[in-house]
Amino acid sequence: MVWGLLIVCILAIGSFLFYASYSIASGVYLKAFCRANTREKVVALTFDDGPDPIQSPFVLDLLSRYQAKASFFCIGEKAAQYPEIVRRMYREGHLVGNHSLQHKNSFPLTPYREMLADLTQTQEILEGIIEAPVTFFRPPFGVTNPTVGKAVRTLGYTTIGWSVRSLDTRGEPVDRIMKRITKQIRPGAVILLHDRLPDSVELLTALFEYLQANEYKVKRVDELINNYAL
């Protein structure tokens, strides 16, 4: 009986810790902005893991065609490799944020000092390119834990999560990804996308068509924070 109770407790604590680390919206270790509190039909588009030398310029072209401003959470080493794309993102009115130096699988397990150095170096690379402060951060894989929380608080970042996870990295057909996205879209949604996939542009075109047909406006994530914070 006692053992049974103990096992139930361990399982409950285990699943809570899993939820706390793997759900960006849990806010257990780190408060992240995941959606705006509004009934107005506004959404934010966010792109992770760029800049990509092939896909990012196409995504930027499309955003410009639809006169939409988005947010790009860039990987430091890629930004250093393709600074002109990051410069273009910023010049065209998009938000540029920190998404760690290399997006290593081991990032969430990195010791505090190393994590601080990783994020600081990324910030310096991005700020050197856009010549403006970089204060927004999205954790790689959306994973948070006490170390990520401490590093982010030390650096004073605003952490951005999401309310719509497209899972566009799975390589599924665009219509299936679209179905997943449209099922989750609500006023104030923050949509997680990637500007490094072969069908990034096809997906974004379909998404813009949906947003226009349903009278959604696209805003930068910081605009959502400033105007409709929870």
Closer of 48 and 118 to Zn ion (Cβ): 48
What's the chain's length in residues?
A: 230
Asked whether position 52 contacts Zn ion by CB under 5 A, the answer is no
Cβ atoms within 10 A of the Cβ of 164, count?
22
Asked whether position 48 contacts Zn ion by CB under 5 A, the answer is yes
Residue type, 123: Q
Q: Where are the beta strands (DSSP E) in 125-179?
A: 136-137, 158-160, 164-165
Closer of 48 and 52 to Zn ion (Cβ): 48
Nearest to 52, CA basis, from 203, 199, 160: 199
Least distance between Zn ion and beta carbon 89 (Å): 16
Nearest to 181, CA basis, from 201, 170, 169, 165: 165
Tokens describing residue 140: 């790689």
Q: Is 94 known to be catalytic?
A: no
Chain position whose Cβ is nearest to Zn ion: 48
Q: Is 199 known to be catalytic?
A: no
Nearest to 88, CA basis, from 43, 45, 136, 52: 52
The region of 45-53, 86-94, 128-136, 207-215 touching Zn ion under the rule CB under 5 A is: 45-53
Which x/- pattern over 140-159 shows residues binding Zn ion (rule: CB under 5 A)? --------------------
Q: Where are the beta strands (DSSP E) in 100-227?
A: 136-137, 158-160, 164-165, 189-194, 217-218
Asked whether position 195 contacts Zn ion by CB under 5 A, the answer is no
Least distance between Zn ion and beta carbon 144 (Å): 13
Tell me, by CB under 5 A, how many residues bind Zn ion: 2
Candidate residues 49, 52, 168, 222; the one interacting with Zn ion per rule CB under 5 A = 49
Closer of 42 and 70 to Zn ion (Cβ): 70
Nearest to 14, CA basis, from 3, 24, 6: 6
| Active-site residue identified among 94, 99, 103, 194 | 194
Closer of 108 and 188 to Zn ion (Cβ): 108
Active site amino acids: 48, 194
- The footprint of Zn ion (CB under 5 A) covers 48-49
